[in-house]
Every structure is written in structure tokens, then in C-alpha cells.
Amino acid sequence: MPKRVYIETQGCQMNVYDSGKMLEILEGSLGYLPAEKPEDAGLLVLNTCSVREKAFDKALSRLGRWRLLKRERPTLRIAVGGCVASQEGAELLARAPFIDVVFGPQTLQRLPALLNAREATGRAQVDVRFPAIEKFDSLPEPKVTGPAAFVSIMEGCSKYCSFCIVPYTRGEEVNRPFADVIAEVYTLAEKGVREITFLGQNVNAWRAPHRGRMLDLAELIRYAASIEGIERIRFTTSHPIEFGERLIEVFAEVPKLAGHLHLPIQSGSDRILARMKRGYTTLEYRSKVRRLRAARPGLSLTTDLIVGFPGETDADFESTIDLVREVGFDQSFLFTYSPRPGTPAANFPDPVPDSVKSERLARLKALIDAKALELSRAAVGSTLSVLVERVTDPDGGMLSGRTETNHWMHFRGPAHLWGRMVPVVVTEGLANSLRGHLAEPAKDFSEHERARTQVA
């Protein structure tokens, strides 16, 4: 019987990426195969998030359930990684003594060694340090699971927004070397990947030396765009303060860069932005948006917004509403402020009552959703490039893929189009997705092309 591991991922895309790497590492060094459910696994890994209180509670509640499984099966091993593990370290063992291994986002490469040490010593193991460059160095060769892939280019965050726990749990910004990033993009392209997303907490802070010069994200995108096979490039997440002219120019000059940008604003009030320590004003944000849209007409913008930050008045909130209306975001992630122990804002005065937070959240959500629907409907009749990522119903011929603006499109077509970029005419615009039909007959694609697109 092969050893099986069940990995549960909570939180952001960084965690999704890390979980993929954990699986590859466990497969590569200890021969684990993935399990469909916890009951089938000998090892359970929880990749946690602590960015908001709810996420933290979710981690503890999942562990509570796994404890019962371990009671029935004492040989079961439980490892906890991610930001809760990083924040709590050995204290997590005091709260949940049934855990076998506690590791952080920067020590996931040590998971096999930690599990082996657990068996050898009979004692729980904890390693939540930040040797970030080691993590990049010991990542296995990228494994391709579809035509779109993430490429991690930096770790951590050094911005220290007053509300955010990330710099404390993931450590400060560490850049991955240029040669390693480009080598990974080449490998992915050779294996059939068509779309890459450069990933990190603040990817526009990425800098790396190359041939005596310091490269930035704008140059990295240009290099990646020159690699044969790569048809679409994205990056996430970026911060408005390091979003310079050079990066804006890439939107005008590199057609392979997707016409979508996630640029978190957090609030539309300058007073709140200053208290959040975001380092920009709404005027600066508006000006960047204006220049970006001039560089790439039709650019789709999404954002993150926090409501109910300490001291947020009705007037501050109205400024957020005004800004959201004016910019016309195409979907956004909305959060109610959640105090995180250890961050400066957790001690700020004037907390906003929960009922006010909920009212504000509902108003903002209605505005954002209405705009998303409006933009979706406006797309009806247009032809969009879709990278086919899923064959949802091989018999009925249902395919799904993302458009350049990061919307899911569902349409009928033959399964062999999987992995291809195809033109699709939009027939229906829904709040969170689009429906359409292929713009050209599938028979146009030759056998040779079909074989070429079989992703390894």
C-alpha cells in the first residue's frame, strides 16, 4: 500500500502554491501519494492562514476534527504549516499536543526531515524559521498539472501595513534569483504551459542582479514574453507604491501581458490610508489607474478593500464608495477589519462596531457586484481569447478557461482543445463568469497541434 498524504489549504494563492510544493517534496523524498480525503491518509497536512481572525479559528476547528481521527488511529501523523504555524510556533503544540510537526512557510522544504525526526525521536518537531532563500534553492523541478502555472518570484513582505500579520508570519521580502525564475519559465513552457503568473506578496518589489545590472519586474516580464510557448503572463499581487512608469509601459508594449491587474487599495480615504501605513494617497492611486488605462485601454482592475478599520467614519467610508464608483473595479475582495494580535492597528482606538462593519460591507458588496455584472453583460458579443484549463464534461463537451481579464468562461467544444488558447464569442455575462461559443470550428486544429498541446 502506498503512503498517502492529505493536504488541506486555507488562505491565499501563496498557500495554494506552497501546498503544491509540499506535495511534490513529500512525493519525491518520502514516496507519498495524494489522498482524496483525510480518512484515506497516513499523514495530514494543514496549510493555515492567519490573516483574519476567522481564518485562524478555521484552522483550529479543522485540527479539532483531525484530533478525533488520530484518537481512532494513533499512527496517523499531523503536520501544521502556513501562517498560524509560523505565528504560534511551539505554542501550537501546547494548545494541540496531538500535532507531530509544526513548520512555517519558509521551512516547508524541511518537511520530510522533520517527519523523519519525529519518528526517530518520538517527539514533535517545530521549525518555523525564515531561511527563505533556502526554500527557493530546494524546490523540486516544477511539476505541470495544466496549461497555466504559478512561478514564485519573491517571498514575504517588508511593507508592514499597520493591520497586516503577513510580514511577521512570512518574513521580510526575499527575491528569487533571475536565472532560477527564467529557467523555471523555460521548463514550464517546454512542458506545455501557456500561461504563467508571477507570484509573491509584492511582486513589483522584485529586484535581482543580472550581468552587472539590477533587473525589475518590468524586465522580467519582457524576458518571459520572449520565451517560445508562453502566450500569456500575469502577476499577483502588486502594491501601488512600487508601481512605477516602467511597469506601466510594459502594459503598453508587451501584448502577452494579460489586460488584468489586481492592485489592492484597501480604502478610499487618505486619512485611513495613512493610518494603515499604506504609503500612497488616493490621488496617487487614481493617477496610476489613469496612466495604466492609457497604456492598456480596457484594462480590467480588481482590488482588495477593508471596511471598519479603527477610526473609519461615515465620511471615510463614503470616500471609499466614491473611489470604487469612479474607478469601476471589475470584482474585488472585500474584508471586514479583523484585529491581528501583534500588529500596530490591533491597539488603535475607536473600533468600528460590528453592526456598522456589516452594513458597510453589504453596501460595498452591492456596488461591486452590480459593476461586475454590468461589465460582464457589456462583454456579450465580443470575442475573447480563452486558455482551456478544464474539461468539465468530456461526454457533453463542456470546456472552461480563463479570459485575459481573468474571468472564467464556459463553452462547448472538443476535449482535445484542453491546453489551447481559443477564441470564444461571449453569449451571456453572469456576475462571476461568462458563457460563450467557439468562434472558429474545432476542425481547424490539426492532429499535429493536438499532439503538441498534450501537457506532460
Residues that bind ligand SAM (CB under 6 A): 12, 51-52, 163-164, 166, 201-202, 237, 264, 266, 304, 306, 335, 337-338, 340
Instruction: Compare residues 48 and 201 and give the one whose CB is closer to ligand F3S.
Output: 201
453 binds, among ligand F3S, ligand SAM, none (CB under 5 to 8 A by kind): none
**Residue 167: which of ligand SAM, ligand F3S, none does it interact with, CB under 5 to 8 A by kind?**
ligand F3S
Is residue 202 involved in binding ligand F3S (CB under 6 A)? yes
Closer of 332 and 403 to ligand F3S (Cβ): 332
Q: Which is nearer to ligand SAM, 47 or 202 (CB)?
A: 202
| Neighbouring C-alpha atoms within 13 Å toward the C-beta of 8 | 21
C-beta atoms surrounding 263 within 10 Å: 21
Chain-centroid distance, C-alpha 291: 25
Nearer to ligand F3S, 197 or 403 (CB): 197
* Cell (9 digits) for 431: 456576475
Classify 60 as helix, strand or coil. Answer: helix
Nearer to ligand SAM, 130 or 163 (CB): 163
Can you tell me the distance from the alpha carbon of 213 to that of 324, in angstroms, rounded to the nearest whole number?
39
Q: How many CB atoms lie within 10 A of CB 332?
A: 23
Tell the smallest beta-carbon distance from residue 345 to ligand F3S (Å).
Answer: 11
User: What string of DSSP letters covers 221-267?
Assistant: HHHHHTSTT--EEEEE---GGG--HHHHHHHHH-TTB-SEEE---B-
Minimal distance, residue 342 CB to ligand F3S, in Å:
13
Contact 192, 420 (CB under 8 A): no
Task: Rule CB under 6 A: say whether 166 interacts with ligand F3S.
Answer: yes
Q: How far apart are CA 111 and CA 29, in angstroms?
A: 10
Q: Which is nearer to ligand F3S, 226 or 333 (CB)?
A: 333
CB 390 within 8 A of CB 401: yes
The C-alpha cell at 308 is: 471598519
User: How many positions of this chain bind ligand F3S (CB under 6 A)?
Assistant: 10
Taking CB under 6 A as the criterion, the residue among 52, 110, 239, 371 binding ligand F3S is: 239
Cα 447 → chain centroid? 35
159 binds, among ligand F3S, ligand SAM, none (CB under 5 to 8 A by kind): ligand F3S
CB of 351 to ligand F3S, least distance (A): 19
Residues that bind ligand F3S (CB under 6 A): 157, 159-161, 164, 166-167, 201-202, 239
